[in-house]
Amino acid sequence: MTIKIADLKIGQSALVDNIVENCDKKLKQRLRDMGFVSGQKITILKKSIFGDPIKISIKNYEISIRKKEADLIKIKND
Amino acid sequence: MTSPIKIAVVGNPNSGKSTLINNIAGSRLKVGNWSGVTVEKKEAKLNFKNKEINLVDLPGIYSLSPYSIEEKIARDFLINEQYDAILNVIDSTNIERSFYLTIQLLELGVPIIIVFNIYDEAKTKGIEVDLNIVSKLLNVQATSTVATKKEGINELLNKIISIRQDKKPKDISYGQDLDRVLDGLTISGKKIFKKFNLSQKFIKLKILEGSADFIEQKDLSELKIDDITAHLKEFHNQDLEEYISEARHSLARGFAMQITKVKEKNDWDISRKIDQILLNRYLSLPIFLMTMWLIFKLTFDIANPFIDFLDGFFGSFLAKWASLGLNFINSPQWFNSLLVDGIIGGVGFVLVFTPVIFTMMFFITFIESSGYMARVAFITDRIMRSFGLHGKSFVPLLIGFGCNVPAIYATRTLESFKDRVATSMVIPFMSCGARLPVYILFTSAFFAQNPSLVIWSLYILGIIIAAIVSVILQKTIFKQEAPLFVMELPPYRLPSFKSLMIHTWEKGKHFLIKAGTYILAVSIFVWFLLNLPWGVEDKKNSYLGQAGQIVAPIFKPLGFGDWQSASSLITGIVAKEIIIGTMGQIYASEIDSQEDLENDIFQDLSVQAKNLSLAFVNSITNVLSTISIVSISLEEDESNSSLKEKLQLFFTPLSAFSFMVFTLLYMPCVVTGIAMKQEFGSWKWFGLATIIGFVVAWLLSFLTYNIGLWVL
């Protein structure tokens, strides 16, 4: 079973593995431009009301990402 | 005489780029639009040491693979336009991330000046950049600035004026494998390269990434890229795009490490601490609502004394002396009336509200540039989504409270067309500054004990209606999947006063332009409608009065079936502040002038000066009293008292409230409609918004009035 970003607890970290195959091409490019490439470390900082969206720290800056989009990013344990 | 040095200013969003430009250019900054679209285009022409410099500010971007319209504009400019160099503004607190874009700019093969901005903050964090290494390593110019404190600007200008002697930046290796593939394209892509004035490397990489949408498909298919890249795919078991993106990321990381010295690791992150509270799961929403409330309260507390001042200035001073002056030169009575009742009355009535608009815009600019606006999107996204909207829709909607027109333009931050239109359809329900004059007039006439609460309830009503309408639209016309929401949460930064003022002005000037053009034209038009047929005595028999009488029955069930209200609502189609302008004109003839016409002008001027200083004092007192929650704002207001007395004859508090509800909802103003047409290419969206608005307004006012009658 693979873990998802949304399943991580606040304060937990993981490494980006890849972006799922069937992801829209432009979105894939955007996610990569934002730093979601293999081996990149991410940390969960906050979750908004109802646990969605999620605030993640990546490459020393912070982004907000929806659960649904976070699910497109495969991660592995740090 | 040499041609001006043209510089394209490029950087990530939140790199402090716009503050830097504002500080370099100052008043020479010209804000316009990119041709064909309404994305803001900032340009500045300046002289430094007898050299002409032309700065073009491109929208903030993360990469050269465009995602939104803004990003496409920036990329297309870099590809298609002629310019001497790129000014790459970098957030020094996060060099690795910023360099991902820099690496791509280097691909273009154009001279580059790298500006390490926000350098003071970087230093506090223990980060230092070796500028010499940067320029040697990449063959570029490098300098550091603190835009907010104007540090390093001269240094930067010196680099700009000598940029023409510069060589091209260094061609960076992307690793053996990729370099070999790039070489492989040299011959087969020859035909394509000829068509562009760009570095081959950039074009090659875009082809490989599959984001070369600026090249004709037919040319691309001739290339047989798959054959060239087959080995790379096989060997690395990766998409080519991914491989290139990773190569850039690791180059960026490598350079960042080479050029910076981290003296002492400083982990203190103030933004994260602030977010512990502001984004706290339970506190975030209450804090946000409180902030909004405070902003509205402060806006009125600060602006109201100035409204009173302007009201007195136009109403008693300007009108009186214009009329005296015209009498003195024996101008005809009708012209006198056109100028005093029509123009000064109509436009003046609207200009009176300038203080509110600008104060509101000031606060909105503040939360925008401090970094809180992005948090607002984070906090509200889940809720907005249940209405089929987007966290990012929140920002345009919020701007809509200031003015719907810039709000329509602000939907550009949303990536998909559907989202933009869906947001724009509900923006008109956001009670804009133009509706405020109507509320202020009516609440001070009918709800003087509790004006803030009444006005607040109207704002809330607008929001609720927007939510309901949005849900219905999502279920009917906008059936599509929810779009994307990857968004940066920039560090909190205290915006400089200067850039706050500049942006406040840019937003608020729409209102002044409107007053000077549409409202002026309509005021004159309304005056004629009110005074034709020629020599009409009773306003009721004027053209406008007649039109009002025809329409009035529609409003009867809503509690305001008189022709005066109907006529005002007709003219309010152009812009809602005109409603009271028209009322002013209609009732003006019925209000006797009780002015003492014998004062001398110097005495009057000194009274005005005294009133202005009084306005400052009251404004400050109001703000101070906000802190102790004692409001003295609207109650003591004695302005327009004659118009108010008139209104009290025609309205009950209930019908007044019903009238305000109708005003809030009935349709987007024509100027907003024009913005919609510009943005979405068709009048049909304005038409739709108008129909929805009118139906909703009628129903809601009907319910308000009749339930009110029944309950009270």
**DSSP states along B125-160:** TTEEE-HHHHHHHHT-EEEE-BGGGTBTHHHHHHHH
CB distance B643 to B444 below 8 Å: no
How far apart are alpha carbons B51 and B246 in whole angstroms? Answer: 41
Set of chain A residues whose Cβ sits within 8 Å of the Cβ of B284: 48-49
DSSP helix/strand/coil, B64: coil
Rounded to a whole number, what is the distance in Å from the CA of B390 to chain A's nearest CA? 11
Interchain pair A55, B279: CB under 8 A: yes
Confidence band of A1 (pLDDT split at 50, 70, 90) = low
Q: Which fold has domain B176-262?
A: Helix Hairpins (1.10.287)
Rounded to a whole number, what is the distance in Å from the CA of A30 to chain B's nearest CA? 7
A:B CB pairs within 8 Å: 112
CA B537 to chain centre: 45
Query: pLDDT value at position B514?
Result: 67
Specify the pairing of strand B85-91 against strand B112-117.
Answer: parallel
Set of chain A residues whose Cβ sits within 8 Å of the Cβ of B384: none
CA B370 to chain centre: 15
Rounded to a whole number, what is the distance in Å from the CA of A1 to chain B's nearest CA? 22
Reading the block at residue B615, the tokens are 């306005």
ipTM of the complex: 0.93
Interchain pair B67, A64: CB under 8 A: no
B562: DSSP letter: S
Interchain pair B284, A49: CB under 8 A: yes
Query: DSSP labels for B190-232?
Result: HHHHHT-SS-HHHHHHHHHHT--TTS-HHHHHTT-HHHHHHHH
* Residue in B211, B275, B485 nearest the CB of A29: B211
CA B258 to chain centre: 40
pLDDT along chain B (712 residues), means of 10: 86 86 78 61 86 90 82 88 92 91 92 92 88 90 88 90 81 84 78 78 84 74 71 74 89 90 71 88 87 79 81 78 80 79 74 76 82 87 85 81 77 76 92 83 84 85 92 81 73 83 77 73 78 72 83 87 86 81 72 54 78 82 62 44 77 90 89 80 90 94 91 80
Rounded to a whole number, what is the distance in Å from the CA of A75 to chain B's nearest CA? 16
**B193, amino acid identity:** F
Query: pLDDT value at position B56?
Result: 92
Query: pLDDT value at position B637?
Result: 43
| Torsion angle (degrees, nearest 10) of CA B19, B21, B23, B28 | -130
On whether any CB of chain A is under 8 Å from the CB of B269, the answer is: no
Nearest-Å Rg of the Cα atoms of chain A is 11
pTM to 2 decimals?
A: 0.78
β-bridge partners, B487: A64
On whether any CB of chain A is under 8 Å from the CB of B383, the answer is: yes
Set of chain B residues whose Cβ sits within 8 Å of the Cβ of A55: 275, 279, 378, 489
Set of chain B residues whose Cβ sits within 8 Å of the Cβ of A64: 374, 377-378, 381, 391, 485-489
Query: pLDDT value at position B509?
Result: 75
Set of chain A residues whose Cβ sits within 8 Å of the Cβ of B272: 45, 62
Query: Closest Cα to residue B155, out of B142, B136, B139?
Result: B142
β-bridge partners, A14: A42, A77
Query: pLDDT value at position B397?
Result: 87
Domain ranges of chain B: 5-165, 176-262, 287-711
On whether any CB of chain B is under 8 Å from the CB of A27, the answer is: yes
B518: DSSP letter: I
CB distance B569 to B563 below 8 Å: no
Interchain pair A33, B488: CB under 8 A: no
Q: What are phi and psi of A42, to 5 degrees?
A: -125, 150
Query: pLDDT value at position B630?
Result: 41
Angle at A6 between CA A3 and CA A7, to 5 degrees: 50
Query: pLDDT value at position B38?
Result: 53
Set of chain A residues whose Cβ sits within 8 Å of the Cβ of B279: 46, 48, 55
Cβ density class B320-333: b for 16+ within 10 Å, e for less = bbbbeebeeeeeee
Set of chain A residues whose Cβ sits within 8 Å of the Cβ of B383: 49
Mutate to test the interface with A, among B489, B492, B493 (most CBs of A within 10 A): B489
Burial (CB count <10 Å: 0-12, 13-18, 19+), residue B31: middle
On whether any CB of chain A is under 8 Å from the CB of B677, the answer is: no
* Residue in B211, B272, B382 nearest the CB of A49: B382
Interchain pair A33, B489: CB under 8 A: no
Set of chain A residues whose Cβ sits within 8 Å of the Cβ of B67: 26, 29-30
Mutate to test the interface with B, among A20, A32, A74 (most CBs of B within 10 A): A32
* Residue in A26, A35, A69 nearest the CB of B97: A35
Interchain pair A49, B209: CB under 8 A: no
Q: What are phi and psi of B632, to 5 degrees?
A: -125, 15
On whether any CB of chain B is under 8 Å from the CB of A29, the answer is: yes
Domain ranges of chain A: 5-77
How far apart are alpha carbons B542 and B546 in whole angstroms? Answer: 6
Q: Which fold has domain B5-165?
A: Rossmann fold (3.40.50)
Element (H, E) at B98: helix B95-107
B289-336 pLDDT per residue, tens: 888 778 877 877 888 788 778 877 887 788 778 888 887 887 777 788
Q: Which fold has domain A5-77?
A: SH3 type barrels. (2.30.30)
Reading the block at residue A68, the tokens are 């649904």
**B11, amino acid identity:** G
Catalogue the long-range contacts made by B132-135 (C-beta closer than 8 Å, 24 or more residues apart). Answer: B133/B258, B133/B259, B134/B259
Helix residue spans in A1-78 (DSSP H)? 25-33, 67-70
Interchain pair A60, B94: CB under 8 A: yes
Rounded to a whole number, what is the distance in Å from the CA of B78 to chain A's nearest CA? 18
